[in-house]
Structure 1
Amino acid sequence: MNIPQTIRERRTIRKFNTTPVAPELVVSLLNDAVNLYEDKGTCRWRCLYAGTPESRHRLVESMMTKMKENRFVKLMPSKMIDFFIKRVTEIPAHLIFIAESASDRRQSDENYAAVCSVMQNFQLLGWECGLGALWDTDPMFQNESFLTEIGLQEGERFAGILHIGYYDKAPRARRRTPAEQKWTAIGEGGKADVLQSARVRVSTQSILEVLNDAVWAPNDGLREPWRFIYVSGSEAAGKLLDSYGNTSSSFLLIVAEHEEDPHKQEEDYAAICCLIQNVQLLVKSRPWYARRSIPEWIYDLDQCKVFGIQPEERIVAVLELGENDRSLQSESSPPPLLNITHL
């Protein structure tokens, strides 16, 4: 896969043709999507697949329960409602992703980040095969009937539905804000332009090149809810180095803007998780790495203030940036078994 090109060219597809999607292809793409996610180990999400006419119809009926109760929808002619149901039912396949429950907020975010990363990988891999997808989290569909249909358990987080199918025409690209316009550097008097190493120097320009591809992440309405804080060679970096123990590292904090609407908050968090996954895919061909983590201290606003984090913001993840050193890389663990069931 040409990762930069695919990330930039992928589009959200809202109109699918009637070409069937082979279930074997869906499973194969899911397995590949899991393998592309670097943080392997215990599976922290599950997935339901609706690919038969019966399961698709049952899913859409459960999604429409709350919508039919809406007073504006009640004024619509029944033929229009039936047309909508028919249109969604005819989408060849639906994948419902659910993040597993967790005992604390940090682990819950870890699980949610994992499922969002796999969903993004699936979209990119599907695009390479001519498959389009629509990531759907519409709160209108999140009603008791729908949640019962997907078997959402207490503590689990619904991450979204990927409506999947082949398409005849992709939408035109919409401009993204350059990463430079959302970039802040904290360093040695503004001189921290490189990651210091005896063998490799990674310029901020190289990091920005990666980010300018990574910002082509799916996000509803192109809200672009992120900003980037590059930390190197300062007291703030020292605080991070104490946590990571690698004196050659610098760090990139991925920060989410505040959104009043809880549903948009969740969507924005998912979009930033996709951006981070894009970064990790993009650096695979480079002589440096970007290792994602969600440390406990990011949930303490007082500890975040040193990096200029405002009360209406939150750090989503910390990317440790450094040179590749195979001698320091641990052996990769086998990928988790695919946790997919048929609806």
Structure 2
Amino acid sequence: MYWNDINASDEEVNALAKYLDVNDDGDICEEDFLAWYQEAATTVASETNAVRQALLTRRTVNNFDKTPVPDIVLRNAIEAAIAAPNHKLTEPWRFIQLGQETISKIAELNAAEIAKKDPEKGAKKKARWENIPGWCVVTCKKSDDELQQEEDLAAVACAIQNFQLSMWADGVGVKWTSGPITRSPEFSELCGIDTETEKHVGTLWYGFASGGLAQLMDQGPNRKKSVDDVLSSLP
């Protein structure tokens, strides 16, 4: 057996050789190698399928229960988010976790606007927003370069998708929202957003889904277009 093409230390190579030599005769036969290879290939296929399933089954969650989400889940999601591709490594994102005091102020701000037309609806909306267990506001750095700004916004969108997938993997649902109130100066002030230097891209509500994530996955992706509808090919 030749190890010249393996990018590993001598210690790692020796450990692998010992693992493959199942009958401990000092020789690695074809049967030994194939047994290991098939196991490794099966593991890779399983992991690949898990990633695809996360992409295909993730759903937007609209209704959350009141169970608090541990901070480690949020930190894991942000770690995944900031691994998103970004041209020239600009890292244009910022994540702001909101506490209950700030959430209540935003809920009141939104309810007051709604109450101008429908006081009862405003009160219901306030209660609903205050009961959403997790809020994370995401911003993007502003740039005077129009192309750079476009690329940075795309990068932040990728980061938000990574965030959602990480949360989903931990059994937590997310809703990406960007309603009218989030574009108001009052919202920016409450969240500590400097509108001269950064732009609000989305507010991420997160929490454990009422009824669990499984019942959402059964609803289907709710997409109007298939692969054939959106894929074209050129010679």
Tell me the TM-score normalized by structure 2: 0.69
Aligned ranges 1:176-187 → 2 under 5 Å:
176-187=224-235
Distance 1:45 1:53, change over 3 A: same
1:43 has 2:85 as partner: no
Give the deviation of 1:146 after TM superposition.
Answer: 1.0
Aligned ranges 1:138-149 → 2 under 5 Å:
138-149=179-190
Give the deviation of 1:21 after TM superposition.
Answer: 0.8
Distance 1:64 1:102, change over 3 A: farther
| Deviation by residue 1:63-89 (Cα, 9 ceiling, x = unmatched) | 445x24xxxx434244x4222111111
Give the deviation of 1:141 after TM superposition.
Answer: 4.0
From 31, 41, 53, the equivalent of 2:100 is 53
Distance 1:42 1:140, change over 3 A: closer
Q: Name the counterpart of 2:76.
A: 28
1:162 has 2:204 as partner: yes
Distance 2:109 2:205 in 1: 15
Distance 1:44 1:77, change over 3 A: closer
Q: Name the counterpart of 1:153.
A: 195
Distance 1:182 1:117, change over 3 A: same
Q: Name the counterpart of 1:103.
A: 144
From 138, 150, 156, the equivalent of 1:115 is 156
| Deviation by residue 1:115-146 (Cα, 9 ceiling, x = unmatched) | 11111001011111111011101124422211
Aligned ranges 1:175-254 → 2 under 5 Å:
175-187=223-235
Contact between 1:63 and 1:141, CA under 8 Å: does it hold in 2? no
1:11 has 2:62 as partner: no
Distance 1:64 1:144, change over 3 A: farther
Give the deviation of 1:46 after TM superposition.
Answer: 1.0
Residue identity (%)? 23
Q: Name the counterpart of 2:44.
A: none
Contact between 2:62 and 2:175, CA under 8 Å: does it hold in 1? yes
| Deviation by residue 1:31-77 (Cα, 9 ceiling, x = unmatched) | 12222x13383421111111x32122123234445x24xxxx43424
Aligned partner of residue 186 in structure 1, secondary structure: coil
Q: Structure 2 counterpart of 1:103, which letter?
A: D
Contact between 2:85 and 2:158, CA under 8 Å: does it hold in 1? no
Q: Structure 2 counterpart of 1:154, which letter?
A: E
Tell me the TM-score normalized by structure 1: 0.48
1:130 has 2:177 as partner: no
Distance 1:130 1:136 in 2: 20
Aligned partner of residue 97 in structure 1, secondary structure: strand
Distance 1:154 1:42 in 2: 18
Q: Structure 2 counterpart of 1:16, which letter?
A: F
Which stretch shifts more, 167-176 or 88-97? 167-176
Distance 1:92 1:146, change over 3 A: same
Contact between 1:16 and 1:91, CA under 8 Å: does it hold in 2? yes
1:74 has 2:120 as partner: no
Larger RCO (CA within 8 A; separation ≥ 6) = 2
Aligned partner of residue 135 in structure 2, secondary structure: strand
Q: Structure 2 counterpart of 1:38, which letter?
A: P
Q: Structure 1 counterpart of 2:234, which letter?
A: I
Distance 2:185 2:86 in 1: 33
What RMSD over aligned residues (CA atoms) do the two structures have, in Å?
2.1
Consecutive unaligned residues of structure 2, counting only runs of 5 or more, are 1-46
Contact between 1:136 and 1:161, CA under 8 Å: does it hold in 2? yes
Distance 1:160 1:93 in 2: 14
Consecutive unaligned residues of structure 1, counting only runs of 5 or more, are 188-343
Give the deviation of 1:176 after TM superposition.
Answer: 4.3
Contact between 2:86 and 2:152, CA under 8 Å: does it hold in 1? no
Considering fraction of residues, name the structure with more helix. Answer: 2
